[in-house]
Amino acid sequence: MKKKSFNYNIDDSQGTAVEPISIKEFDIERYHEYELSLREKCRSFWNGDKGVAVYRRFRVPQVFASGCKDMKTSLELQLGALEKSMKYRADIPNFLEPWYGIGTIASAFGLDYIWHEGQAPATRPPFNSIEETLKYDYLPVEETEIGRHTMDMIEFFLEKTGGKIPVSFTDTQSPLNIASYLMPMDKLFLEMYDNPEGYKKLLSVITGLLIDFTGKQQELIGNALVYPGHGFASSREFQGIGISDDNTLMVSDDFFERFEIPFREKIGSVFGGCVFHSCGNWSNKIAVVKKIDNLVMVDGAFSEETDPDPNEVEPFVKGFSDTGIVVNARIVGDVQTISDKVKRLWSPGMKLIVVTYCQDPVEQEEAYHRIHQICG
């Protein structure tokens, strides 16, 4: 049998092609009823100490690329995804996301987007030192072009759907990730050690801006808000804020514990807990990530088709069994691939969300039953 591998020739390994649907053509009430029909499953899973739930994620590549520039285009593509998702058996419904790049909080420091045709918005670090960054007269995020667009996008989504369709926060990056958008990485890493007090002050400013702007989103979205948002399976019944923390792989455990964890905990304390994500294989970071006091969920890739360097399975089983912490396991692949990974991921003490990307409803139906059979 040919070994499965990451496909570098496609735009998005986790993407699903959909046809956009206009607001007039989308049946809001039908999706609202569909979401309501899964609420009890979501509530039961979240409130339990262990168990399994299945989420067929519908990630539309254009939404996370140049399609985000036009909120109408983004909404119609996402409505196409929601419509299609109802044909795929799952325990957790999909949701709308006001995604507008990853420079949201960094925009407070004057950062703006660079647009290349067909690509997600890019950024360029505007500063060369921590002190230079701290001297900048930063703004509340909602007063920046990026922040205003994001809030306008949320308002547009809510207005067009009558507030009946679930909506998440925009893509929340960690304070460490955000700092790396403000300075070149090499200079930032040197200054972490040469100017640790300045680095902590910068993280404190970033964290305050993040909490304030996320609170503005929370207030605006209201009862339609699903947690933890972005790339995680999310529900109105869940809690916590999803934080993308990919640069964690490049700092020591000791550094992460002393400098990074306090700010993760501060963010989590406001939004019902901290939810950790990193691309790549972060299995050797499990011990230190678990030291986040209010950690409620972690996310990782678990197949070669999901990520070129997927996570090792056994450390996650050992690290998260009998903790009540959810493992959001993304598994791109066919039914056999999903089954093989779930057999290794599952133990009676696990609280597991299996995220699938099956190609059609028939394959998804089989995967759904296999997963519940294995974990039953």
* CATH of residue 143: 3.20.20.210
Flag whether 13 is in a domain.
no
Q: Which residues contact 87 (CB under 8 A, 6 or more apart)?
A: 361
Nearest to 28 by CA among 223, 164, 166: 164
Inside any domain, residue 17: no
Average pLDDT over residues 95-120: 97
Q: Is 57 among the domain residues?
A: yes
Q: How many CA atoms lie within 13 A of 52 on its CB side?
A: 21
For residue 197, the enclosing domain spans 28-374
Tell me what the mean pLDDT of segment 95-121 comes to. 97
Nearest to 190 by CA among 246, 251, 144: 251
| CA–CA distance, 199 with 259 (Å, rounded to integer) | 9
Question: pLDDT tens for residues 296-333?
Answer: 999 999 999 999 999 999 999 999 999 999 999 999 99
What average pLDDT does the chain have? 97
171 within some domain: yes
For the sheet containing 274-277, what is the strand order?
Answer: 51-56, 351-356, 326-331, 295-301, 274-277, 241-244
When pLDDT is cut at 50, 70 and 90, the band that residue 346 belongs to is very high
In a domain, 9, yes or no: no
pLDDT over 60 at 1, yes or no: no
**What average pLDDT does the segment 165-191 reach?**
98
DSSP annotation of 225: B
d(CA 253, CA 332): 29
Residue 245 within a domain: yes
Do the beta carbons of residue 95 and residue 168 sit within 8 Å? Answer: yes
326 DSSP assignment: E
Half-sphere exposure of 203 (CA within 13 A, CB side): 24
CA distances from 36 to 69, 237, 276 (A): 31, 11, 27
Confidence at residue 2, expressed as pLDDT on a 0 to 100 scale: 60
Mean pLDDT calculated for residue range 202-208: 99
**Nearest CA-CA partner of 242 in 137, 340, 169, 300:** 169
pLDDT at 376: 87
Is the predicted pLDDT of residue 3 greater than 80, yes or no?
A: no
Sequence-ordered list of residues with C-beta below 8 angstroms from that of 229, at least 6 positions apart, any chain: 97, 168, 169, 170, 172, 241, 242
Banded model confidence at residue 375, pLDDT cuts 50, 70, 90: very high
Query: 96: closest CA among 217, 229, 276?
Result: 229
Tell me the per-residue pLDDT of 233-280, one tens digit each, with 9 for 90 and over. Answer: 999 999 999 999 999 999 999 999 999 999 999 999 999 999 999 999
Model pLDDT for residues 41-91, shown as the tens digit of each residue? 999 999 999 999 999 999 999 999 999 999 999 999 999 999 999 999 999
Specify if 5 maps to a domain: no
| Residue pLDDT, tens place only, 125-147 | 999 999 999 999 999 999 999 99
Instruction: State which amino acid sits at residue 62.
Output: Q
Domain count, the chain: 1
pLDDT of residue 11: 81
Q: 126 in a domain, yes or no?
A: yes
Question: What tokens does 147 get?
Answer: 């922040």
pLDDT above 90 for 178: yes
What are 357-366's pLDDT values in tens digits?
A: 999 999 999 9
- Could you tell me which of 202, 71, 211 has the C-alpha nearest to residue 140? 211
